[in-house]
């Protein structure tokens, strides 16, 4: 059953080589196409959770014709159970700044922004210091590039890339209709590359060591390493860089407390995996031939037998009902219906079959919502209700 | 990018221009896709999700309104997946909506109700959310009632208020389950910068935004034997009313409307067009007087350009947004208020009536007129000049309530006096109409000759363009207007407050040299007013405009100064334009207002 990739710890992201000046100088002297090819052959996929091939994203933006383009680092780390980007920005900020600038060189952008989660205001002073130093160096080597921090205001939805643009433009943080996509019509309507903090940090590794070092890690379709934010019922919560493709059974073996009942992979918008499916579940992007592959932004929440899965779901749904931007019907009303629905079943106001109706509704939300938020509510809802149906009823 | 691409919709091949939305392609192919947040006047929101369709090879559905066609796309609009999803979405909207249809003002003309009926939402058992929300109904405005319990968050009103009107009285606030359409600091509509234009009402798919109706008050007045109830009808009503009563858009129903009003029991049925003609005499004279004061007397206290003052939505807009320009407004009251002031003076006197016993009702294509009639300064007759303002829609309701078979009515004429009008009065209902009417009269007054346009049709000021410009060079004027010889009279016309804002900002920046500007709050002018039949669209407004101009062309008299009743009222009552009586009854002043 299990493909049994042993947990392999990696140390790239937080390794502080202190050579960002060299990496920047070296990279901006390489032709953009070469850098794009390097990224494409590394098979790096977006680490925010959606897993879009990073090289392709840069390539499309580089081909857009526009005098003004932007690079945006998405540091609106809001997924419950995720706390890796905060660490990257505080421990290795120059890697991220360098990667933003290299992306600017590749696509032809002169400005970069870091959209920083509102609650991370305490990172701002140090980060600004780093930016000043970074910009000073850019000037020294005659490389025109500037980076600014844009503070978010606390809405989860603003981590969605187009809602993030709206927020930066001073509007309500509501996701846009897609197409057009950011690479052609992003911030201020200009071609924009928007990458997660961790994704940018990985591009640094790739430009520093070459794509092969990265590609050699992980498994087919899920190359490289990834930071995992481990929390919940575990004796060793924290941030760990691991190779992709590991089996969840191995993960639990390492991080569980010998009583792990389920693991929520990917935060509130991810999937709950019950114990009986640990062995067949792998952590990585879809496309593996054996077992189930679960992509993730890195949030791994472990629950032991003391936890009520009804309470867990209730908590997630409260979060979604509150954090939906409220513009589209399936997400705004759907979240409220799911939340009130499971409570009604628990109270006995609705019978157990009502859960099936809610599962169908979640499916509709998945295929009709405007953005990833509404589309992914069904992930946790369906996986929890299907696997822990009794806990929802009794 | 003008090249054609092919897609299929339900297997049928459709050739469309690059960039066409799936919704427009479907319409072209004769396939109907339901919509709610979509409106032809507004930008695409794509937030109700009712228009979802299936695309071959994609798990997720796409919104037809927001998704552009791509070559080879296979669209399916009627699969099980699509139907079930749409049904879910309608069910969800209904759980959040106060679906007490029988007690709703919009019962029978509600897009959500229509969809619920089409999709037969019979055994809905999702939890009704309305009791859990603290919904409020705002009835403080004299024009607009806002009932949050009926709102489906489609944001059509928000887009209307922002895109068409640049007013932004209505915006979205809060997020998730608390998301709502609201005002600045959630104040009442009467306290915020709202122009009462009613465009939000015209664009609302449900009963969340409706006019404050005065139907029962008018019925009471009609049945009160001690009251003499007069009614005036605005120019644009006659080209809109038919739509509510079984006619296609663009039908002129002037004669039937007069018959219906008589059957309803009004004691006299008169025409706002009469005071529209009167407005032209007063306003035209005012313009020429201002020109003289500026050009000859070099009087720096007199402001140009002069702006029209017929549209109460525009008046409230400029009072809030550009209070420093109030001196540029013509001091003329709107035709409705001129009429109101004259009914309880001139008319009462000629008919030997006690003004106290007169109830003055007006039928308007407008909700801002309700606010206007309610202004404290509009009591120049010694009484409230206009007692009740009904929209075109409210009149249609009364006609239905009275059991009148409108289609079968014979045409009747307005009563005399104050029932005679010219084509110039009629075109007040369309954007550019006041300008055209004013030019027809002013040019002739100054030169003794008709305006140099074929058949009196001043086409440069007509049409749907948001801002129009025209200029007429005055040559060989009559002796008393010699100072205008060679002057090129520069005019502009703006309709929709977003366009008004553009013109005002240009004036503020000193970029223009207009003498005279017509401003109308609503797109298309009064014919697209906030009190006109719902739905509205560019096509419908174009048909109403065509009807207005046809009415004008069919009139024996087409210049305001030819109106025999206007000539008579000056001879018998008013004396001369801008005279003392006119000044007292027909002119007004404006109130600077704050932006919050």
> What DSSP string describes B36-69?
SS--TTS-----S-TTEEEETT-SS-EETTT-B-
Q: Strand, helix or coil at A79?
A: coil
Q: Is B93 in Cβ contact with A326 (below 8 Å)?
A: no
Name chain B contacts of A333, Cβ cutoff 8 Å: 92-93, 95-96, 129
Q: Which residue in B50, B126, B155, B179 has the most chain A C-beta atoms within 10 A of its own C-beta, making it the best mutation to test that interface? A: B126
Task: Please give the pLDDT value at position B2.
Answer: 60
Task: Please give the pLDDT value at position A3.
Answer: 43
Given the structure tokens 């081909």, which residue do they identify? Answer: A63
Answer for the pair B485, B292: CB distance below 8 angstroms, yes or no.
no
Report the candidate in A48, A107, A105 with the shortest Cα–Cα distance to residue A74: A48
CA dihedral B143, B147, B151, B153 (to 10 degrees): 70
Picking from B15, B45, B78, the residue at the C-terminal end of a domain is: B78
pLDDT in tens, B379-399: 999 999 999 999 999 999 999
Instruction: Mark whether B60 and B159 lie in a shared domain.
Output: no
How far apart CA B258 and CA A189 sit, in angstroms, is 54
Report the candidate in A53, A47, A50, A57 with the shortest Cα–Cα distance to residue A88: A47
Task: Please give the pLDDT value at position A50.
Answer: 84
pLDDT in tens, A50-75: 889 999 999 999 999 999 999 999 99
Instruction: Mark whether B131 and B68 lie in a shared domain.
Output: no
Instruction: Mark whether B61 and B176 lie in a shared domain.
Output: no
Q: Is A324 in Cβ contact with B85 (below 8 Å)?
A: no
Q: Is B92 in Cβ contact with A337 (below 8 Å)?
A: yes
Instruction: Mark whether B467 and B581 lie in a shared domain.
Output: yes
Name residues whose C-beta falls within 8 Å of residue A19's C-beta, 6 or more positions apart in sequence. Answer: A208
Instruction: Mark whether B74 and B128 lie in a shared domain.
Output: no
Task: Please give the pLDDT value at position A5.
Answer: 46
The minimum CA-CA distance between B41 and chain A, rounded to whole Å, is 18
Q: Strand, helix or coil at B467?
A: strand
Name chain A contacts of B44, Cβ cutoff 8 Å: 177
Task: Please give the pLDDT value at position A293.
Answer: 82
pLDDT in tens, B47-101: 999 999 999 999 999 999 999 999 999 999 999 999 999 999 999 999 999 999 9
Name chain A contacts of B175, Cβ cutoff 8 Å: 155, 157, 173, 322-326
Name chain B contacts of A366, Cβ cutoff 8 Å: 60
Nearest residue on chain A to B46, alpha-carbon basis: A177
Task: Please give the pLDDT value at position A4.
Answer: 44
Instruction: Mark whether B71 and B174 lie in a shared domain.
Output: no
Residue B449 lies in a domain: yes
The minimum CA-CA distance between B154 and chain A, rounded to whole Å, is 8
Taking one residue from A and the other from B, the number of pairs with CB-CB distance under 8 angstroms is: 119
How far apart CA B405 and CA A186 sit, in angstroms, is 57
Residue B64 lies in a domain: yes
How far apart CA B231 and CA B222 sit, in angstroms, is 11
Residue B177 is nearest to which of A322, A329, A350, comparing CB atoms? A322
Q: Is B46 in Cβ contact with A357 (below 8 Å)?
A: no
How far apart CA B571 and CA B566 sit, in angstroms, is 9
Q: Which range of residues forms the domain containing residue B151?
A: 124-211
Task: Please give the pLDDT value at position B3.
Answer: 83
pLDDT in tens, B129-141: 999 999 999 999 9
pLDDT in tens, A223-252: 999 999 999 999 999 999 999 999 999 999
- Is residue A297 scored above 90 in pLDDT? no
How far apart CA B400 and CA B407 sit, in angstroms, is 11
pLDDT in tens, B405-445: 999 999 999 999 999 999 999 999 999 999 999 999 999 99
Helices A197-209 and A54-63: crossing angle in degrees, nearest 10, is 90
Instruction: Mark whether B479 and B562 lie in a shared domain.
Output: yes
The tokens of B586 are what?
Answer: 């027909």
CA dihedral A312, A318, A324, A328 (to 10 degrees): 100
CA dihedral B380, B383, B386, B388 (to 10 degrees): 160
Nearest residue on chain B to A326, alpha-carbon basis: B176
Instruction: Mark whether B294 and B437 lie in a shared domain.
Output: yes
Report the candidate in B326, B258, B259 with the shortest Cα–Cα distance to residue B519: B326
Hey, is the C-beta of B124 within 8 angstroms of any chain A C-beta? no
**Catalytic residue IDs of B:** 283, 286, 310, 330, 369, 372, 377, 526
Hey, is the C-beta of B53 within 8 angstroms of any chain A C-beta? no
The minimum CA-CA distance between B47 and chain A, rounded to whole Å, is 4
For range A250-268, the mean pLDDT: 96
The tokens of A308 are what?
Answer: 């009520």
Report the relative pairing of strands B358-364 and B228-233 from DSSP bridges. Answer: parallel
CB atoms within 10 A of CB A360: 12
How far apart CA A145 and CA A24 sit, in angstroms, is 12
Q: Which residue in B115, B151, B157, B177 has the most chain A C-beta atoms within 10 A of its own C-beta, making it the best mutation to test that interface? A: B177
How far apart CA B493 and CA B355 sit, in angstroms, is 38
Picking from B22, B54, B78, the residue at the C-terminal end of a domain is: B78
The tokens of B394 are what?
Answer: 């409210």
Picking from B190, B211, B232, the residue at the C-terminal end of a domain is: B211
What's the sign of the alpha-carbon dihedral A76, A82, A83, A89? negative
Task: Please give the pLDDT value at position B489.
Answer: 94
Q: Is A157 in Cβ contact with B175 (below 8 Å)?
A: yes
All domains in chain A, ordered by first residue: 20-215 (3.40.50.11540), 309-393 (1.20.1440.230)
Q: Is B45 in Cβ contact with A329 (below 8 Å)?
A: no
When divided into structural domains, chain B yields a total of 3
Nearest residue on chain A to B92, alpha-carbon basis: A333
For range B327-338, the mean pLDDT: 97
What's the sign of the alpha-carbon dihedral A361, A365, A367, A368? positive
Report the candidate in B468, B451, B433 with the shortest Cα–Cα distance to residue B551: B433
8-state DSSP, B100 = -
How far apart CA B91 and CA B128 sit, in angstroms, is 10
Answer for the pair B342, B418: CB distance below 8 angstroms, yes or no.
yes
Q: Residue B153 sits in a domain of what CATH number?
A: 3.30.70.20
Q: Is A329 in Cβ contact with B152 (below 8 Å)?
A: yes
Residues of A with CB under 8 A from a CB of B: 155, 157, 172-174, 177, 179, 320-330, 332-337, 340-341, 344, 350, 354, 357, 360-361, 364, 366-370, 375
Instruction: Mark whether B475 and B329 lie in a shared domain.
Output: yes
The minimum CA-CA distance between B112 and chain A, rounded to whole Å, is 13
Residue B394 lies in a domain: no
8-state DSSP, A116 = E
pLDDT in tens, A17-60: 889 999 999 999 999 999 999 999 999 999 988 889 999 999 99
State residue B358 phi and psi, 5-degree precision. -85, 130
- Is residue B589 scored above 70 in pLDDT? yes
Q: How confident is the model at residue A6 (pLDDT cuts 50, 70, 90)?
A: low
Least confident of A37-46, A96-105, B472-481: B472-481
Instruction: Mark whether B573 and B485 lie in a shared domain.
Output: yes
How far apart CA B496 and CA B165 sit, in angstroms, is 6
Residue B575 lies in a domain: yes
Q: How confident is the model at residue A286 (pLDDT cuts 50, 70, 90)?
A: confident
Residue B245 lies in a domain: no
Query: How much of chain B exceeds pLDDT 70, in percent?
Result: 100
Q: Is B155 in Cβ contact with A325 (below 8 Å)?
A: no
Instruction: Mark whether B152 and B57 lie in a shared domain.
Output: no
What's the sign of the alpha-carbon dihedral B369, B371, B373, B379? negative
Answer for the pair A324, B176: CB distance below 8 angstroms, yes or no.
yes
Instruction: Mark whether B319 and B432 lie in a shared domain.
Output: yes
Q: Is B96 in Cβ contact with A367 (below 8 Å)?
A: no
- Is residue A257 scored above 90 in pLDDT? yes
- Asked casually if ipTM beats, i.e. exceeds, 0.85, the reply is yes
pLDDT in tens, A192-223: 999 999 999 999 999 999 999 999 999 988 99
Q: Is A326 in Cβ contact with B88 (below 8 Å)?
A: no
């Amino acid at each position: 059953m299990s493909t049994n990739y042993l947990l392999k710890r990696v140390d790239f992201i937080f390794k502080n080589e202190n050579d960002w000046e060299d990496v920047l100088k070296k990279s901006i002297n390489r032709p953009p196409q070469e850098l794009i090819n390097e990224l494409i052959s590394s098979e790096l996929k977006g680490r925010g959770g959606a897993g879009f091939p990073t090289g392709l994203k840069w390539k499309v933006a580089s081909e857009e014709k526009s005098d003004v383009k932007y690079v945006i680092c998405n540091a609106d780390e809001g997924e419950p159970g995720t706390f890796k980007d905060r660490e990257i920005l505080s421990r290795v900020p120059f890697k991220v700044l360098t990667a933003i600038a290299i992306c600017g060189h590749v696509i032809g952008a002169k400005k970069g922004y870091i959209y920083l989660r509102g609650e991370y205001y305490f990172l701002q002073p140090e980060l600004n210091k780093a930016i000043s130093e970074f910009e000073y160096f850019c000037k020294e080597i005659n490389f025109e590039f500037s980076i600014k921090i844009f503070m978010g205001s606390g809405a989860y939805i603003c981590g969605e890339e187009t809602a993030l643009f709206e927020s930066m433009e001073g509007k309500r943080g509501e996701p846009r209709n897609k197409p057009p996509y950011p690479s052609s019509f992003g911030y201020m309507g200009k071609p924009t590359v928007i990458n997660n903090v961790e994704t940018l940090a990985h591009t640094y590794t790739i430009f520093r060591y070459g794509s092969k070092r990265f590609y050699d890690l992980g498994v087919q379709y899920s190359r490289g390493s990834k930071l995992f934010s481990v929390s919940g019922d575990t004796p060793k919560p924290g941030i760990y860089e691991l190779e992709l493709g590991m089996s969840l059974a191995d993960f639990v073996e390492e991080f569980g407390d010998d009583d792990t009942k389920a693991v929520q992979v990917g935060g509130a918008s991810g999937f709950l995996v019950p114990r009986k499916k640990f062995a067949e579940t792998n952590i990585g992007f879809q496309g593996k031939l054996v077992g189930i592959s679960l992509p993730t932004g890195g949030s791994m929440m472990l629950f032991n037998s003391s936890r009520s899965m009804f309470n867990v779901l209730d908590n997630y749904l409260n979060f979604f009902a509150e954090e939906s931007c409220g513009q589209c019907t399936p997400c705004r009303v759907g979240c409220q219906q799911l939340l009130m629905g499971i409570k009604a079943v628990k109270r006995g106001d609705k019978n157990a079959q009502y859960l099936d109706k809610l599962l169908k509704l979640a499916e509709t939300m998945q295929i009709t919502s405007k953005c990833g938020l509404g589309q992914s509510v069904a992930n946790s809802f369906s996986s929890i209700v299907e696997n822990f149906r009794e806990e929802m009823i009794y | 990018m003008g090249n054609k691409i092919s897609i299929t919709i339900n297997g049928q091949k459709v050739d469309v221009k690059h960039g066409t939305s799936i919704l427009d392609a479907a319409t072209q192919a004769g396939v109907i896709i339901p919509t709610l947040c979509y409106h032809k006047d507004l930008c695409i929101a794509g937030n109700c999700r009712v228009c979802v369709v299936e695309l071959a090879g994609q798990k997720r559905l796409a919104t037809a309104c927001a998704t552009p066609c791509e070559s080879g796309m296979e669209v399916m609009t009627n699969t099980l997946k699509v139907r079930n999803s749409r049904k879910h979405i309608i069910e969800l909207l209904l759980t959040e909506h106060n679906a007490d249809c029988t007690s709703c003002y919009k019962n029978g003309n509600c897009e959500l109700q229509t969809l619920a009926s089409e999709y037969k939402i019979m055994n809905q058992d999702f939890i009704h959310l309305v009791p859990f929300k603290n919904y409020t109904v705002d009835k403080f405005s004299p024009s607009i009632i806002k009932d949050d319990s009926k709102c489906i968050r489609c944001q059509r009103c928000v887009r209307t208020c922002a895109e068409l009107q640049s007013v932004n009285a209505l915006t979205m606030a809060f997020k998730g389950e608390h998301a709502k359409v609201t005002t600045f600091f959630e104040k009442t509509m009467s306290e915020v910068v709202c122009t009462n234009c009613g465009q939000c009402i015209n664009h609302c798919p449900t009963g969340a935004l409706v006019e404050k109706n005065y139907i029962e008050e008018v019925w009471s007045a009609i049945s009160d034997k001690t009251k003499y109830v007069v009614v005036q009808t605005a120019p644009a009503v006659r080209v809109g009313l038919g739509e509510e009563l079984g006619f296609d858009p663009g039908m002129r129903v002037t004669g039937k409307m007069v018959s219906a009003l008589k059957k309803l029991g009004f004691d006299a049925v008169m025409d706002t067009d009469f005071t529209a003609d009167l407005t032209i005499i007063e306003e035209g004279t005012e313009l020429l007087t201002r020109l003289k004061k500026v050009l000859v007397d070099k009087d720096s206290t007199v402001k140009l350009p002069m702006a029209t003052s017929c549209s109460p939505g525009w008046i409230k807009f400029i009072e809030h947004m550009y209070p420093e320009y109030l001196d540029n407004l013509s001091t003329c009251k709107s035709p409705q208020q001129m009429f109101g002031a004259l009914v309880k003076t001139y008319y009462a006197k000629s008919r030997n009536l006690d003004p106290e016993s007169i109830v003055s009702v007006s039928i308007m294509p407008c909700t801002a007129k309700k606010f206007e009639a309610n202004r404290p300064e509009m009591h120049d007759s010694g009484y409230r000049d206009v007692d009740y303002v009904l929209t075109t829609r409210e009149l249609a309701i009364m006609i239905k309530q009275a059991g009148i078979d409108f289609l079968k009515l014979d045409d009747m004429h307005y009563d005399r006096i104050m029932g005679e009008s010219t084509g110039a009065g009629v075109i007040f209902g369309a954007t550019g109409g006041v300008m055209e009417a004013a030019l027809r009269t002013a040019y002739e007054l100054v030169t003794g000759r008709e305006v140099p346009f074929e058949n009196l049709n001043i086409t440069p000021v007509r049409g749907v363009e948001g801002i129009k410009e025209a200029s007429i060079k005055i040559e060989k004027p009559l002796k008393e207007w010699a100072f205008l010889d060679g002057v090129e009279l520069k005019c502009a016309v703006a309709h929709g407050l977003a366009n008004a804002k553009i013109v005002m900002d240009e004036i503020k920046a000193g970029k223009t040299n207009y003498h005279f500007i017509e401003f109308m709050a609503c797109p298309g002018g009064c014919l697209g007013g906030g009190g006109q039949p719902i739905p509205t669209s560019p096509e419908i407004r174009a048909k109403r405009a065509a009807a207005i101009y046809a009415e004008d062309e069919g009139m024996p008299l087409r210049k305001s100064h030819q109106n025999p009743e206007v000539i008579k009222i000056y001879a018998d009552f008013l004396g001369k334009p801008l005279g003392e009586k006119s000044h007292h009854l027909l002119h007004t002043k404006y109130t600077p207002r704050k932006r919050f």
